Amino acid sequence: MQYTIKGSNKSKLIAYVLAALIVLWILSGVFFRNTQPTIKENIHNSMAVEALPKVQYIKSHAVEHKKNIYVNGITEPKRMVNLKAEVGGKITKILVAEGQKVAQGDVIMEIEERERAALLEEAKASVHKREIDYTAAKRLSLKGFQAETKLAEASSQLEMAKALLIQAQINLDNTKILSPFDGIVNLINAELGTLVGPTISVDTTRAKDDRTLAVIIDTNPIVISAFISEQNIKKITLDTLCDIELITGKKFIGKISYISKISNPVTRTFRIEIEVENPDYSIASGLTTFVSIPIENKQAHYVSSSDLSINEEGKIGVKIVEDLSDEGENQTGIVGFVAISAYDYNKGGVWISSLPPRADIITLGQAFVKEGQKVIAILSENNSNIKK
């Protein structure tokens, strides 16, 4: 038996099939949607990242830094003496030259002896005679043949003769001008035949004192004189080791040997002295020096001056990257600002103690970004804080 479908029923069947297919197509879009971003979405996201400003940063770690006080100083001799004549006469010998090293007791020059040697011998003879007179007077006094006054007179004359002998010896010794300590002959201010004496002036064109015959200086150790402000003087202690740099560039280590207890009434600064060993006398007197005096240690970051920024409130500080993402080359973060608390200054930068122990400091592009702004953060190839 065969069945036939009427025309109207056939149209309804086709409509039902088409409706079912449409529903299935809609449902496939809901439950089987592709979760991967489309090419259009990828391009949009890439453009959004590229639109962010780029900065370069370093991973800075706090290190223990020795805070210093920096002052200028000048080198001076440890000791200096102007040698003068204590007896009159002409210079007969000059035994050293300017710049020559001498030891304590070395003869610098000699003055003619004149009659001083003869007077010394006469004084010795007088003492010998007075000793005999005193011995005889004492013997007679003990036997009762001479009064006590005669013994006292003999004793007095003996003591007077001894005093004259000492004076004669001193006068003869003073004809030799001696170095009072080890040092260097800085100046010879007399010539052979120059007449000198306690009240006689000599050449004044080279020496400040018109009776100076020679100048001896001791520059081992050399002394560096510097002045400390009243705010810092309490932070300075004796025997502290200091870094010294001469204007020539040479560097040395010195030790604080003196701290004045009285300030300069005009500048309100206190004078200190730093001694530096100078066995070869290579450090001259009168050189400008740069002195670094340590006062305390503290954990701090070193930041170059070029890395500093000023925020909208006019505060000086550094910009850092916070909340760094982990997206490879497109690493992003938020710009932060930390006002600096300068712990110490150095050539080209500053030591900061107000940052946390670890900080991502922006070193390039900080002038073009603001606090709170999202940025692309690129790690610097020189990924460390500079340690000075």
Domain containing 139 — which CATH number?
1.10.287
The reply to whether 8 falls in a domain is no
pLDDT in tens, the chain (388 residues): 444 545 556 666 666 666 666 666 666 554 445 545 555 455 444 555 557 899 999 999 999 888 888 999 999 999 999 999 999 999 999 999 999 999 999 999 999 998 888 888 999 999 999 888 888 888 877 777 667 778 888 889 899 999 999 999 998 999 999 999 999 999 999 999 999 988 888 876 777 778 899 999 999 999 999 999 999 999 999 999 999 999 989 999 999 999 999 999 999 999 999 999 999 999 999 999 999 999 888 888 999 888 888 888 888 899 999 988 875 667 899 999 998 876 677 777 888 888 899 999 999 998 899 999 999 998 888 766 554 4
Where residue 194 sits, what CATH number does that domain have?
2.40.50.100
Same domain, residue pair 154 and 85:
no
Q: Verify that 199 and 307 share a domain, yes or no.
A: no
Residue 154 lies in a domain: yes
Residues 190 and 244 grouped into a single domain: no
Residues 106 and 190 in one domain: yes
Residue 331 CA: distances (Å) to CA of 49, 50, 245, 273, 366 = 10, 11, 45, 55, 16
Length of the chain: 388
User: 116-143 and 148-173 helices cross at what angle (nearest 10)?
Assistant: 160
Instruction: Give the distance between the most distant pair of CA atoms in the chain.
Output: 197
Residue 374, domain CATH: 2.40.420.20
Check whether residue 330 and residue 365 sit in a common domain.
Answer: yes
E-assigned strands of 181-287?
Answer: 183-188, 195-196, 212-218, 222-229, 241-246, 251-263, 269-276
Report d(CA 296, CA 284) in Å as an integer. 31
Through-space distance between the first and last CA atoms of the chain, rounded to whole angstroms? 107
- Specify the pLDDT at position 199: 85
Q: State CA 173 to chain mean position distance.
A: 46
Neighbours of 164 (CB within 10 A): 18
At 37 the pLDDT is: 52
Q: Tell me, what CATH number does 257's domain have?
A: 2.40.30.170
Q: Assess if residue 16 is contained within a domain.
A: no
The residues facing 337 across adjacent strands are 319
Work out whether the CA dihedral 69, 75, 78, 84 comes out positive or negative: negative
Is residue 306, in this structure, part of any structural domain at all?
Answer: yes
Identify whether 325 is part of a domain: yes
What are the percentages of helix, strand and coil residues in the chain, rounded to 5?
A: 25, 40, 35
Both 198 and 170 in a single domain? no
Rounded to whole angstroms, how far apart are CA atoms 344 and 354?
A: 12
> Do 244 and 306 sit in the same domain of this protein?
no
What is the predicted pLDDT for the residue at 103? Answer: 95
CA distance 292 to 347: 12
Number of domains the chain is built from = 4
Q: Which of 295, 321, 353 is the last residue of a domain?
A: 295
Q: Is residue 169 part of a domain?
A: yes
Distance, in Å, from the CA atom of 130 to the CA atom of 160, rounded to the nearest integer, reads 9
What is the span of the domain harbouring residue 285?
Answer: 70-78+219-295
Q: Record the tokens describing residue 139, joined without a space.
A: 């013997």
Q: Do the beta carbons of residue 287 and residue 247 sit within 8 Å?
A: yes
- pLDDT at residue 25, as a whole number: 61
Calculate the alpha carbon distances from 26 to 20, 22, 23 in Å.
10, 6, 5
Instruction: Give the containing element (helix H, strand E) for 308.
Output: strand 308-310
Under 8 Å between Cβ of 215 and 80: yes
**Is residue 86 located within the same domain as residue 74?**
no
Domain finish residue from 264, 295, 326: 295
CA dist 113 and 73 (Å) reads 46
Among the candidates 261, 295, 329, a domain finishes at: 295
Residues 162 and 240 in one domain: no
Say if residues 123 and 105 touch (Cβ distance below 8 Å): no
Tally Cβ neighbours within 10 Å of residue 33: 8
Q: Is residue 1 part of a domain?
A: no
User: Are 192 and 205 within one domain?
Assistant: yes
Asked, for residue 375, whether it belongs to a domain, the answer is: yes
Report the DSSP beta bridge partners of residue 332. 376
Same domain, 192 and 262: no
Cα(258)–Cα(211) distance, rounded to whole angstroms?
A: 31
Mark whether 93 and 124 lie in a shared domain: no
